Amino acid sequence: MSTVLKSNTQEARTGSVGGTAAANRGLGTRLRRLNIPGGLGGWIWLAVIILPVYYVVVTSLKTQAGYFGQNPLSLPTEPTLENYQSVLEADFAQYFLNSAIVTLGSVIPTVLISFMASFAIVRGAGRFLKLVNGMFLMGLAIPLQATIIPIYLMIIRLNLYDSLLALMLPSIAFAIPLTVLILSNFIRDVPNELFESMRLDGCSEWQTMWRLALPLTRPAIVTVAIYNGLHVWNGFLLPLVLTQSPSLRVLPLGLWTFQGEFSVNIPAVLASVVLSTLPILVLYVIGRRQLLAGLTAGFSK
């Protein structure tokens, strides 16, 4: 199974978002002929995607009167930021901070311990490591969300209920299998001669791991960090079940309770939607390639 996994992800990497210029050119000449139906479909889908986004943004800039009075798709006659102000006053800064803490607090340990495990799985040998690897691979095929009830029980028994740490611990565990899979595929690609020369220079495996394997797998680490980060950032079930206090809400949960309380003020609700997406939108604008590669984390091949 694992060799299969490897070859797949290798293909995935070479063919990821960038693609080679030559291949693109070849496709270009081929696809130009499809232009009319393809183009039409492309524009229709664009409308399907953009209309909701446009509606959310313009409505969030309208006053209540504007919302009830104007055409829903027209630009606001008196654009206002007061909706955003009321969202911020509803503690969204706190939710944002909570989301940031939980995301960083999950992603950094996940990547760190998964990297160490991947290094051992690739460079080491023995029955124990085989067993560990097999277990992580099994973990990929199990819908871990179904374990929410025992996790709830454990978190209560550990006296962690209603804390941010309660969100991080299962998030880390859920993210390990895929992270180990991707990182070990990348470490496996580091030429053996490099490891050998490190060893001849008298470096221990520990030093080799940090000085050789880590820098060489940095792109993969960024990719899995983004992938895991987005999942934690947008996660809903764990915060819903494992926290309770308003001061511990993360953004998706904050959004949900906000729309419950402010259901009469749709512009404010939609402002909260925009505001909660803004950090990731900024990321998308800055590092679109990285983010898209991270989103599929080696699924595209």
Partner 1 sequence: MSNAVSTAPGPSVGVRNSKQTEQRKAALAWLTIPALFFFLVFAVIPLAGVLILSFTSWDGIGAIGAAGLDNWYSVLADPGLYNALGLTFLIMIVSWLVQTPISLLLGVFTAGSQRYRAVLAVLYFLPLLLSSAAVAIAFKALLDPNFGLATGLGLPFLAQDWLGVPHLALGLVIFVIAWQFVPFHTLIYQGGVRQIPKSLYEAAQIDGAGTIKQFFHITLPQLKYTIITSSTLMVVGSLTYFDLIFVLTGGGPGNSTRILALDMYLRGFRANLMGPASVIAVILVIIGLALALFLQRLGGKDKQGSQLEGL
Residue 186 near residue 220, CB atoms below 8 Å: yes
- Label residue 224 exposed, middle or buried (CB < 10 Å: 0-12, 13-18, 19+): buried
- Rounded CA gap, 65 and 83, in Å? 12
Query: Looking only at residues 196 through 215 of this chain, which bind partner 1 when binding is defined by CB under 8 A?
Result: 196, 205, 209
88 near partner 1, rule: CB under 8 A: no
Q: Which residue in 82, 91, 97, 152 binds partner 1 (CB under 8 A)?
A: 152
101 near partner 1, rule: CB under 8 A: no
- Rounded CA gap, 136 and 149, in Å? 21
Query: Looking only at residues 259 through 298 of this chain, which bind partner 1 when binding is defined by CB under 8 A?
Result: 259, 266, 269-270, 272-273, 276-277, 280-281, 284, 288, 292, 295-296
252 near partner 1, rule: CB under 8 A: yes
* Intra-chain end-to-end CA distance of the chain, in Å: 17
Query: Looking only at residues 4 through 23 of this chain, which bind partner 1 when binding is defined by CB under 8 A?
Result: 4-5, 7-9, 11-12, 14-17, 19-20, 22-23
Considering the complex, what minimum distance in angstroms separates the CB of residue 229 from partner 1? 12
**Nearer to partner 1 (CB atom), residue 100 or residue 280:** 280
Considering the complex, what minimum distance in angstroms separates the CB of residue 100 from partner 1? 14
Query: Looking only at residues 229 through 248 of this chain, which bind partner 1 when binding is defined by CB under 8 A?
Result: 231, 233-237, 241
**Nearest-10 crossing angle of helices 35-60, 266-286:** 130
Q: Report helix, strand or coil for 88.
A: helix
Closest CA relative to residue 55, chosen from 267, 291, 258, 227 = 267
Considering the complex, what minimum distance in angstroms separates the CB of residue 218 from partner 1? 19
